[in-house]
Amino acid sequence: MACNLAGKTALITGAAGGIGSAIAELFDEKGIRLALTDIDVTQLKEHAGKYRQEPFVGKCDITSRKDIIATVEKVKDHFGHIDILVNNAGIIIPSLYEDAQYDDIDKQVAVNLLGPMYMTRAALPVMKDGEGGAIITVSSLAGIVPETRSAVYVATKFALRGFNLTINIELKERGIFAGAVFPDSVNTPMLRYEATHGGSPLTFLGLPQQPEQVAEAVYRAIVKKKIELYVPYSTAFFSKILACMPWIFPPVWRMLERSGEKKKKKFQEKLEKEDML
């Protein structure tokens, strides 16, 4: 795909959230036409007025194949084609795996894994009818290394990595590039939810990134055709080295969790102070 993306059409899932909204803002600045979807269509419509170009806004339950297929058809009817798909929607329901509720397992798999797979499958025929394009998945550092109290979330992100690497090979002849962005913790409502609902201490080890940094990585992945990008970039080396030595996880993780627990408490205290203002 050409470096100048002005005039291209991007379909973004989970566009009402912190990262999704930041991606939409950046794409709008670059002249990319926006098709924004989320289950929270009210929030989408509230954001719509801030964009330079009028976006397509549609409610889409990423767990429903019927919704996904209908959404892709509506975007095709509205813009004529789809050049960029950003699989951004995701959820986490923290808990020790032994305490995980079956419905919570199903929901995370449906949103985080099956949703992007279904959306990609539905969008491909429309993308193939055009001049190629790009599919970018917003994953997580938890797709490279484990994260306690998040076993199901981790499983979905590990699976997405394999899915992404495979379709990137398969779709090359079609002129469609597939890449993924792996952020560390990001300052979003989801991070605040994790802080107050038993999230993993490992999530709080580093300074939270801003949604805009993830958005920049998504854009860079498209124009530079980066199969994998990490936010911040410094996490890539350490994470990949650890991933090659699974036997080191138990002792190292116990040490990291102790440090993460202290930082998690500080983050919780910060949230409490903000709530008091």
Q: Which residues are catalytic?
A: 153
Among 189, 185, 190, residue whose Cα is nearest residue 204: 185
Q: How far is CA 82 from the centre of its chain?
A: 19
Confirm if 163 and 117 have CB atoms less than 8 A apart: yes
Rounded to whole angstroms, the Cα distance separating 267 from 245 reads 30
Q: Is the dihedral of CA 103, 109, 111, 114 positive or negative?
A: negative
The DSSP string of 167-185 is HHHHTGGGTEEEEEEEES-
Rounded to whole angstroms, the Cα distance separating 149 from 275 reads 26
Confirm if 137 and 87 have CB atoms less than 8 A apart: yes
Q: Please report, for residues 184, 191, 218, the alpha-carbon distance to residue 239 in angstroms, rounded to integers and kept in the order given.
A: 11, 20, 20
Q: Is the dihedral of CA 52, 57, 60, 66 positive or negative?
A: negative
* SS3 state at 119: helix
| Edge-to-edge strands, sheet with 33-38 | 56-59, 33-38, 9-12, 84-87, 133-138, 176-183, 228-231
Could you tell me the end-to-end alpha-carbon distance of the chain, in angstroms, rounded to an integer?
A: 47
Beta-carbon count within 10 A of 228 CB: 18
